[in-house]
Amino acid sequence: MATTNEVLSANTNKLFTALRTVKDDESDWTGQFILIEGNADTFRFLGSLFNSMAEYKEDCSLALHPEAAGLNHFARGSEVGLMLHRDDCAYGDKR
């Protein structure tokens, strides 16, 4: 099983066409959904990333943001990042 760093290194394309909150002036749900938009490779990448987080015990947290670490995975229009944390790690819920 690949580590999260290996998954990230293997995927150098701008995979997320958009990662943003949904804005809908007609809805009471505005800002309560995150839109993850991309092609099939985007979702394969996310599957690999989630699998590596689940299986590789040394990696229990990851943050990617369109204006910080991981920015090469985001296309213009992305407004939010991803923060992942597996709480059954050595740090528990303190991370």
CA trace torsion 71, 51, 57, 70 (10° rounding)? 0
Q: What is the pLDDT of residues 62-76, one digit of tens each?
A: 888 888 988 888 888
Give the amino acid at 70.
Answer: G
Cα 90 to the center of its chain, rounded Å? 22
Q: What is the pLDDT of residues 74-91, one digit of tens each?
A: 888 788 888 888 888 776
Give domain status of residue 95, yes or no. Answer: no
Measured CA to CA, the distance from residue 19 to residue 22 in angstroms comes to 9
Residues of the domain holding 26: 4-85
Give domain status of residue 75, yes or no. Answer: yes
**Token couple for 67:** 């204006």
Give domain status of residue 69, yes or no. Answer: yes
Based on the structure, what is the number of domains in the chain?
1
| Single pTM value for the model | 0.75
Give domain status of residue 93, yes or no. Answer: no
* Residue-averaged pLDDT of the chain: 80
Give domain status of residue 91, yes or no. Answer: no
**In this structure, what DSSP letter does residue 44 have?**
H
Measured CA to CA, the distance from residue 66 to residue 3 in angstroms comes to 21
pLDDT surpassing 60 at residue 35: yes
Give domain status of residue 94, yes or no. Answer: no
**pLDDT tier for residue 95 given thresholds of 50, 70 and 90:** very low
